[in-house]
Structure 1
Amino acid sequence: MAMQVSQFIIGVDVAKVELVVHFEDRDEQSSLKNTKPEIKKWLGQQPANTAICVEATNTYHLDLVEMAYEKGFAVYVVDGFQLSNYRKSVGGRVKTDASDAYLLSRYLSREGSGLRPWGPPPAVYGKLQSLLRRRASLVSARTALTQSWSNERSLETVFKSFAKNMEKLDVLLQKKLKELVREAGLSEQVARCQKIEGIGFLTAVGLVTAFIRGDFKNGDSFIAFLGMDLQISDSGQKTGRRRLTKRGCSEIRRLLHNAAMSASRSVAWKEVYAHHRSKGKATTEALVILARKLARVAFALLKSQGEYVTRTAKNACPQP
């Protein structure tokens, strides 16, 4: 849905304690405490056709966004990296709470027609995402500690006991994920993704979690949401280096990378992987391409509610 020109545009810079507000129509600013009572009172003073643009923070923006949505206002949440680049593009030399509030209102005013309003995710989305991220932190910490303590023989027994406790926590996290998936009625969707060679339970949960977050028109939009689309920088005869935008959840990309490593050794996908390696692609590049293919197949299955047929099975089917 495109933003209406007649909307009353407000940019809000969010901090833990305070909200700084910029009113686009009259070029004025004000501030209020970042508490539910203050936000509720302030929202009640705004006209019905209000559109609010907020920069995404860790959690400090959630009360404002959710309450404004419930009030019926159009809410737009902008990624901090995107806002930073926008500041540079318009020649911004200052970064303060006040300048950010102004920049957000300007961004919505100029670019609003191409933006999609924020909508609340399913209740289980935040819980699944939180557990996936916590497990990612656990895996990262366990790997770093294992490498750091590998040569410490004097405390080897103690560390092994500690490492086992971390493994138990990992098992409990995965058990909790399975419970959430089952309670949310997503078990069939997860199982559908797991039939794809290389994709295990955790990767399947990550893909399903991403899928239920939005109404994706096609596989390209899903890939972009995962941050696995390419950032292209070409000029004239020069072809710039391709990079992933990496705007989505980093943990899902990590899980997909691991899935691609597993899939590259499977009968179904090893020829695809070998093909890209033979074309001069580096190992990481070939794995990224394969990970993107796995994500597209998963999206197609989730979108169509179809059943996966292995590549070898497809080849074995008689042609009409």
Structure 2
Amino acid sequence: MTSEMLIGIDAAKDELVIDSEQELLTIANTAEAIDAWLKTLPTESYIGLEAPSDYHQLMAERAVSMGKVVYVLNPRDMRPYALGLGRRGKTDRVDAHMIRRFITAERGHLRPYQPASAIQHQLALLQRRRATVVKHRQALQKALRSVNELEAPLFDTLAALDVLLKHIDQQLEGVLTLQPALASPSPAS
């Protein structure tokens, strides 16, 4: 006889709030704490995680490596679901409970999480770094454009950031030549 467990987890930087059929608990968002907790679960465990940032990543990857089925959920889907059930509160415990209810009701329509390949990780990292450089370049340009005394240093700084962006773009192209199926339209500056 196998026992099945459905679990909802609200992930934050430092901790994971876990709602299962048996308990509500909080553990540290560290490999050691996650591994210790995962070892207590039955073989047939289904874990739902909301993905507002990267805080869910460690749990998702550790759980899949231990044979658990993981569903990474879009927060934009969870909010209307919670409101539809009359839940107005927004706490980590409420979120974990809503995630568990959601996977209980929708598991048959959800796609299990598949960890990214090393190339996909590298591509995502480069894209995030590129977006950060673009964001800061635009902020510098906006903040200093009307300060005449800083026009020359600003021009030099923006030119250096453009060189950095070209370098990142070359790295992205290199990754995409290794994995052409991941190619999409080039990122906007």
* Larger RCO (CA under 8 A, 6+ residues apart): 2
Is 2:36 aligned against 1:41? yes
Report the counterpart of residue 174 of structure 2 in structure 1: 179
* Distance change in 2, residues 1:147/1:129 (3 Å): same
Report the counterpart of residue 82 of structure 1 in structure 2: 77
Report the counterpart of residue 7 of structure 1 in structure 2: 4
Task: Describe the SS at the equivalent of 1:87.
Answer: helix
The whole-number CA distance in structure 1 between the counterparts of 2:63 and 2:158 is 45
The whole-number CA distance in structure 1 between the counterparts of 2:145 and 2:13 is 41
TM-score, normalised to structure 2, is 0.87
Asked whether the 8 Å contact 1:10–1:51 carries over to 2, the reply is: yes
- The CA deviation at 1:133 is 2.8
Which of 18, 21, 24 in structure 1 is aligned with 2:18?
21
Kindly indicate which of the two structures has a greater share of residues assigned to strand. Answer: 2
> In structure 1, what residue type is equivalent to 2:5?
F
| CA RMSD between the two structures | 2.2
The whole-number CA distance in structure 1 between the counterparts of 2:169 and 2:157 is 19
Report the counterpart of residue 234 of structure 1 in structure 2: none
Structure 2: unaligned runs, 5 residues or longer: none
Asked whether the 8 Å contact 1:20–1:101 carries over to 2, the reply is: yes
Deviations 1:224-263 (A, max 9, x none): xxxxxxxxxxxxxxxxxxxxxxxxxxxx7x64xx9xxxxx
Asked whether the 8 Å contact 2:9–2:16 carries over to 1, the reply is: yes
Aligned length: 187
Is 2:189 aligned against 1:206? no
- The CA deviation at 1:147 is 4.1
Asked whether the 8 Å contact 1:132–1:206 carries over to 2, the reply is: no
> In structure 1, what residue type is equivalent to 2:16?
L
Is 2:102 aligned against 1:124? no
The whole-number CA distance in structure 2 between the counterparts of 1:149 and 1:164 is 14
Asked whether the 8 Å contact 1:18–1:31 carries over to 2, the reply is: yes
Report the counterpart of residue 101 of structure 1 in structure 2: 96
Question: What is the correspondence of 1:59-78 to structure 2 with a 5 Å cutoff?
Answer: 59-78=54-73
Asked whether the 8 Å contact 2:4–2:42 carries over to 1, the reply is: no
Which of 147, 150, 158 in structure 2 is aligned with 1:155?
150
Is 2:128 aligned against 1:133? yes
Which of 46, 49, 54 in structure 2 is aligned with 1:51?
46
TM-score, normalised to structure 1, is 0.54
> In structure 1, what residue type is equivalent to 2:8?
G
- The CA deviation at 1:32 is 1.7
Asked whether the 8 Å contact 1:65–1:75 carries over to 2, the reply is: yes
- The CA deviation at 1:148 is 4.1
Task: Describe the SS at the equivalent of 1:154.
Answer: helix
The whole-number CA distance in structure 2 between the counterparts of 1:147 and 1:97 is 37
The whole-number CA distance in structure 2 between the counterparts of 1:154 and 1:181 is 42
